[in-house]
Chain A
Amino acid sequence: MPSNLEMGLYVFMLATFVGLEVIRRVSPLLHTPLMSLTNAISAISVVGAILIISNEEATNLSKVLGFVAITAATTNIVSGFLITDRMLKMFKRREEKK
């Protein structure tokens, strides 16, 4: 059985290759929305923050740091996804114009 570390490295390698391939195909037209979308996804660290704070043995320090971390990450997630959608709504083709 491979260790957790080895499994993690496999996942990392594959995800990086998939990421590079997928991002290479993103139209330059959409680079700004892409930045804010990937930015929202990077706030996945909220999962880590929840894991820290919900630990039964969480110290007060962990709770406070975790609390700030969840708040910051949630701000990032919510504003990131919403503004990306707001931007994308503006991209229209000519045919769709009145």
Chain B
Amino acid sequence: MGSLVNYIYILSGALFVLSLKWMNSPVTARRGVFAGEAGMLMAIAGTLIGHHANWEWILAALFIGTAVGVPIAYIMPMTAVPQRTAMSHACGALAAALVGTAEYYQRQPHADTELVGFTMVALVIETLLGFLTFTGSLMAMGKLQEILPSRPLVYKNQNAINFVLFAIAIGLGVRVILVPTDTWIFPIFAGLSLVFGVLLILPIGGADMPPVIALLNSYAGLSACAMGFALDNKLLVIAGALDGSSGLILLLFGAFGQIQTAKGKTEQRPYRSASAEEAASILEAASSVIIVPGYGLAVAQAQHKIRDLFDSLGKRGVDVKFAIHPVAGRMPGHMNVLLAEADIPYDRLIEMDDINGEFPQCDVALVIGANDVTNPAARTDKSSPIFGMPILDVDKAHTVMVIKRSMNPGFAGIDNDLYYMDKTLMLFGDAKAFVSEILKELPAAVRA
């Protein structure tokens, strides 16, 4: 029986690898999800085959989890995907942390033989990462859902306090490893891990969430991996390592994440604004338009209106593309999902590196709800807090139009030079309402 379970685990691990491999293209991606589901079912079924105690508990928990999970997956609107992902991270991390805790207390009476050396190290890592990812993800979810203020919360000596707390947590962890029989330390260690997760996310603003989501995802995987070492289960190690390496996409975000809130410049500079009618006639006359979506699009739920604009301009022979910045929105790839929801074909969604060369030849760049990712200061102004961050070269287009509620600076609190250029027209209003107005003006422009 034991070896059958192991073979099932091997197959399950292979399915997980295939699952990620098939995610490389939208054509095979759904097959990838299927492989992942099959791998997970086999893992659970395989584990159940070998064990017979407390079935009623296991089945009840599986049932409740499914009953909760299915509605979440279907009811959640696409704009809330970042929050859901953060919540899901919290659930997975909690599971890992609780298993670590249970394991510790269960084996603790036989500490001399069972909790020695590496097993204990793995248990401590598993619980530390599990608990801090749990509270960290809850914080991220709160900020994304705007239950908590999405502005960064910064206070004096924040780094020093965080570091000291983390050092104490590590110290206690080491102590638990060395003397596993001191059970009183464990709850303190767990508590500190929970607190540290909160502190870790406090100073991070809503706009910096994409790398944070990726990082928390990675932690959840590494926690599962550590569990694999503690339980000597290779499948857990494989799945955990695969998930842990997904943190790799963090590297794509470059210098992002170091943004400090800048002092808002108070000086007034002249800018030009335009009405929906003028905007419509400029779009009508263009032969190529690049739309640059940002988080404002998600907030205004404007994706379907933008799809109408895309169709309307397409019928007039205007070439419309979308420029996708890697950190536009609140999680990696957020914009792609929103635009795909509105049925915009994905071959029109172009990544930053591929589209930047096209801006100089493009007639109109239409920025909708994006700000810092279009700020030319990142390229030119060494004193700017976002200097060095990769941006979309919107300022190189012949004409720039920006739909924005007001002249208030974005999340990072940095003024955007783009708005004051001679070729820039500011279109003030809610993204959805303004795009609707442009659409109303478009047919009229045709007749004229």
Inside 8 A of A78's CB, which chain B residues have their CB?
Answer: 65-66, 68-70, 73
Q: B227 in the interface, Cβ–Cβ < 8 Å?
A: yes
Across the interface, do A30 and B241 meet the contact criterion of CB distance under 8 Å?
A: no
User: Which of A5, A20, A36 has the most chain B CB atoms inside 10 A of its CB?
Assistant: A36
Asked if residues B73 and A91 are in contact (CB atoms below 8 Å), the reply is no
| Count: A-B pairs, CB below 8 Å | 379
Instruction: Please provide the chain A residues from 72 to 98 with a CB less than 8 Å away from any CB of chain B in the complex.
Output: 72-94, 96-97
* Interchain CA distance A83-B68 in the complex, whole Å: 13
Q: B391 at interface (Cβ–Cβ under 8 A)?
A: no
Number of interface residues of B (CB under 8 A): 108
A88–B26 touching, CB < 8 Å: yes
- State how many residues of chain A have any CB contact under 8 Å with chain B: 84
Query: In the bound complex, do residue B235 and residue A66 qualify as a contact, i.e. CB atoms below 8 Å apart?
Result: no
B88 within 8 Å of A (CB atoms):
yes
Question: Which of B173-181, B216-224, B282-290, B400-408 interfaces with chain A?
Answer: B216-224
Contact A39 B65 (CB under 8 A): no
- Chain B contacts for A67, CB-based, 8 A: 57, 60-61
Task: Find the B residue at minimum CB distance from A83.
Answer: B73
Bound state CA distance, A90 and B58, in angstroms? Answer: 35
Residues of B in contact with A (beta carbons under 8 Å apart): 13, 16-17, 19-21, 23-26, 29-30, 32-33, 36-37, 39-40, 43-44, 47-48, 51-55, 57-58, 60-62, 64-66, 68-70, 72-74, 76, 78, 81, 84-85, 88-89, 91-92, 94-96, 98-99, 101-103, 105-106, 118, 213-214, 217, 220-221, 223-225, 227-229, 231-246, 248-249, 252, 324, 326, 331-334, 336-337, 340-341, 343, 345-349, 351
Q: What are 8 inter-chain pairs, A to B, with CB distance below 8 A? A: A22-B17, A35-B213, A38-B217, A38-B242, A39-B217, A53-B61, A55-B51, A79-B84
